Amino acid sequence: MATKDAADAEAKPAGRLKLIIVIVLALLLAVGLSVGGTWFFLHKTSGDAEAEHAPAAAAAPVKQAAIYEELVPAFVVNFNHQGRARYMQVSVALMARDQAALDALKVHMPVLRNRLVMLFSSQDFESLVTPVGKEMLRQQATASVQELAQKETGNLAVEQVLFTNLVLQ
Protein backbone atom coordinates (compact mmCIF):
# COMPACT_ATOMS: atom_id res chain seq x y z
CA MET A 1 0.00 0.00 0.00
CA ALA A 2 2.90 2.30 0.71
CA THR A 3 4.12 1.90 -2.85
CA LYS A 4 0.71 2.81 -4.24
CA ASP A 5 0.61 6.08 -2.24
CA ALA A 6 4.12 6.96 -3.40
CA ALA A 7 3.13 6.39 -7.05
CA ASP A 8 0.07 8.65 -6.65
CA ALA A 9 2.20 11.36 -5.03
CA GLU A 10 4.63 11.30 -7.97
CA ALA A 11 1.83 11.34 -10.58
CA LYS A 12 0.14 14.46 -9.18
CA PRO A 13 3.18 16.80 -9.54
CA ALA A 14 3.91 15.46 -13.04
CA GLY A 15 0.29 16.13 -14.04
CA ARG A 16 0.44 19.64 -12.65
CA LEU A 17 3.69 20.30 -14.49
CA LYS A 18 2.08 19.23 -17.78
CA LEU A 19 -0.91 21.50 -17.08
CA ILE A 20 1.39 24.49 -16.37
CA ILE A 21 3.36 23.86 -19.58
CA VAL A 22 0.14 23.65 -21.64
CA ILE A 23 -1.15 26.93 -20.11
CA VAL A 24 2.15 28.75 -20.75
CA LEU A 25 2.24 27.51 -24.36
CA ALA A 26 -1.38 28.62 -24.88
CA LEU A 27 -0.57 32.08 -23.49
CA LEU A 28 2.52 32.39 -25.70
CA LEU A 29 0.46 31.35 -28.73
CA ALA A 30 -2.22 33.95 -27.88
CA VAL A 31 0.36 36.72 -27.43
CA GLY A 32 2.11 35.74 -30.66
CA LEU A 33 -1.14 35.77 -32.62
CA SER A 34 -2.07 39.13 -31.12
CA VAL A 35 1.28 40.71 -32.03
CA GLY A 36 1.24 39.16 -35.50
CA GLY A 37 -2.30 40.35 -36.20
CA THR A 38 -1.53 43.86 -34.98
CA TRP A 39 1.62 44.04 -37.10
CA PHE A 40 -0.25 42.73 -40.14
CA PHE A 41 -3.05 45.29 -39.91
CA LEU A 42 -0.74 48.21 -39.10
CA HIS A 43 1.67 47.28 -41.85
CA LYS A 44 -1.18 46.91 -44.33
CA THR A 45 -2.58 50.39 -43.55
CA SER A 46 0.85 52.05 -43.62
CA GLY A 47 1.53 50.38 -46.98
CA ASP A 48 -1.73 51.82 -48.32
CA ALA A 49 -0.80 55.25 -46.99
CA GLU A 50 2.62 55.01 -48.63
CA ALA A 51 0.98 54.03 -51.93
CA GLU A 52 -1.32 57.05 -51.72
CA HIS A 53 1.56 59.44 -50.97
CA ALA A 54 4.00 57.94 -53.49
CA PRO A 55 2.95 60.18 -56.41
CA ALA A 56 3.22 63.28 -54.23
CA ALA A 57 6.68 62.26 -53.05
CA ALA A 58 7.79 61.59 -56.62
CA ALA A 59 6.55 65.00 -57.71
CA ALA A 60 8.44 66.80 -54.90
CA PRO A 61 11.64 68.43 -56.17
CA VAL A 62 14.87 66.73 -55.22
CA LYS A 63 17.28 69.04 -53.43
CA GLN A 64 20.40 69.50 -55.51
CA ALA A 65 23.89 69.12 -54.11
CA ALA A 66 25.51 72.19 -52.61
CA ILE A 67 28.06 74.13 -54.65
CA TYR A 68 30.63 76.30 -52.88
CA GLU A 69 32.41 79.31 -54.32
CA GLU A 70 35.32 80.77 -52.32
CA LEU A 71 35.72 84.52 -52.61
CA VAL A 72 39.44 85.06 -53.04
CA PRO A 73 41.26 87.02 -51.66
CA ALA A 74 39.93 87.17 -48.11
CA PHE A 75 38.33 90.41 -46.96
CA VAL A 76 40.52 92.60 -44.75
CA VAL A 77 38.81 95.65 -43.28
CA ASN A 78 39.72 98.14 -40.60
CA PHE A 79 37.48 100.06 -38.23
CA ASN A 80 37.88 102.17 -35.10
CA HIS A 81 36.93 101.01 -31.66
CA GLN A 82 37.25 103.54 -28.84
CA GLY A 83 39.91 105.46 -30.73
CA ARG A 84 41.93 102.33 -31.48
CA ALA A 85 42.36 100.90 -34.97
CA ARG A 86 40.99 97.37 -35.28
CA TYR A 87 41.31 94.92 -38.15
CA MET A 88 39.14 92.06 -39.31
CA GLN A 89 40.01 89.38 -41.83
CA VAL A 90 37.13 87.27 -43.18
CA SER A 91 37.34 84.40 -45.63
CA VAL A 92 33.96 83.94 -47.28
CA ALA A 93 32.38 81.09 -49.24
CA LEU A 94 29.07 81.27 -51.06
CA MET A 95 26.81 78.20 -50.94
CA ALA A 96 24.44 77.72 -53.87
CA ARG A 97 22.49 74.86 -55.45
CA ASP A 98 22.39 76.07 -59.06
CA GLN A 99 25.66 76.46 -60.96
CA ALA A 100 24.10 78.59 -63.71
CA ALA A 101 22.70 81.09 -61.18
CA LEU A 102 26.07 81.21 -59.41
CA ASP A 103 27.85 81.85 -62.71
CA ALA A 104 25.41 84.67 -63.48
CA LEU A 105 26.23 86.22 -60.09
CA LYS A 106 30.00 85.99 -60.72
CA VAL A 107 29.62 88.69 -63.36
CA HIS A 108 28.65 91.07 -60.54
CA MET A 109 31.49 90.07 -58.24
CA PRO A 110 32.93 93.62 -57.86
CA VAL A 111 29.57 94.91 -56.61
CA LEU A 112 29.21 91.91 -54.30
CA ARG A 113 32.69 92.39 -52.83
CA ASN A 114 32.00 96.12 -52.36
CA ARG A 115 28.79 95.38 -50.45
CA LEU A 116 30.56 92.92 -48.19
CA VAL A 117 33.49 95.28 -47.51
CA MET A 118 31.08 98.06 -46.55
CA LEU A 119 29.10 95.69 -44.34
CA PHE A 120 32.19 94.30 -42.59
CA SER A 121 33.78 97.71 -42.02
CA SER A 122 30.61 99.13 -40.44
CA GLN A 123 30.58 96.56 -37.63
CA ASP A 124 31.13 97.19 -33.93
CA PHE A 125 34.07 95.33 -32.40
CA GLU A 126 32.18 94.54 -29.17
CA SER A 127 29.41 92.70 -31.02
CA LEU A 128 31.86 90.72 -33.17
CA VAL A 129 33.63 89.27 -30.15
CA THR A 130 30.59 87.12 -29.27
CA PRO A 131 29.46 84.07 -31.29
CA VAL A 132 25.99 85.60 -31.58
CA GLY A 133 27.48 88.75 -33.10
CA LYS A 134 29.42 86.70 -35.65
CA GLU A 135 26.30 84.77 -36.59
CA MET A 136 24.34 88.00 -36.95
CA LEU A 137 27.05 89.35 -39.27
CA ARG A 138 26.92 86.14 -41.33
CA GLN A 139 23.14 86.47 -41.65
CA GLN A 140 23.47 90.13 -42.66
CA ALA A 141 26.04 89.15 -45.29
CA THR A 142 23.71 86.42 -46.58
CA ALA A 143 20.82 88.89 -46.83
CA SER A 144 23.02 91.44 -48.61
CA VAL A 145 24.28 88.91 -51.17
CA GLN A 146 20.78 87.53 -51.76
CA GLU A 147 19.43 91.05 -52.25
CA LEU A 148 22.12 91.77 -54.84
CA ALA A 149 21.53 88.45 -56.59
CA GLN A 150 17.78 89.06 -56.72
CA LYS A 151 18.31 92.56 -58.09
CA GLU A 152 20.91 91.66 -60.72
CA THR A 153 20.05 88.11 -61.80
CA GLY A 154 16.38 87.75 -60.90
CA ASN A 155 16.80 84.89 -58.42
CA LEU A 156 18.43 84.37 -55.03
CA ALA A 157 21.27 82.24 -56.43
CA VAL A 158 23.05 82.04 -53.05
CA GLU A 159 21.55 80.02 -50.22
CA GLN A 160 24.08 80.99 -47.54
CA VAL A 161 27.20 83.04 -47.01
CA LEU A 162 29.66 81.06 -44.90
CA PHE A 163 32.66 82.35 -42.99
CA THR A 164 35.51 79.90 -43.40
CA ASN A 165 37.89 82.08 -41.37
CA LEU A 166 37.31 85.13 -39.20
CA VAL A 167 40.12 86.92 -37.38
CA LEU A 168 39.70 90.00 -35.21
CA GLN A 169 42.64 92.06 -34.00
For 112-136, the pLDDT digits (tens) are 999 999 999 988 888 889 999 999 9
Pair 56, 71 in one domain? no
Pair 96, 159 in one domain? yes
Pair 153, 102 in one domain? yes
Tell me which of 28, 60, 92 is where a domain ends: 60
- What digits encode the pLDDT tens for the residues 4-19? 555 555 556 678 888 8
Pair 45, 91 in one domain? no
Pair 55, 74 in one domain? no
Residues 6+ apart with CB under 8 A from 6: none
CA-based torsion, 51, 54, 56, 59: positive or negative? negative
Tell me which of 60, 79, 110 is where a domain ends: 60
Q: Would you give the DSSP letter of residue 96?
A: E
Pair 49, 85 in one domain? no
Which parts of the chain are beta strand (E)?
67-81, 84-96, 158-168
Tell me which of 16, 42, 60 is where a domain ends: 60
Query: By residue range, what is the domain housing residue 155?
Result: 67-168
* pLDDT mean over 24-49: 76
CB 22 within 8 A of CB 14: no
Pair 99, 40 in one domain? no
Confidence of residue 25 (pLDDT cuts 50, 70, 90): confident
Pair 43, 86 in one domain? no
- What digits encode the pLDDT tens for the residues 129-166? 999 999 999 999 999 999 999 999 988 889 999 999 99
pTM: 0.62
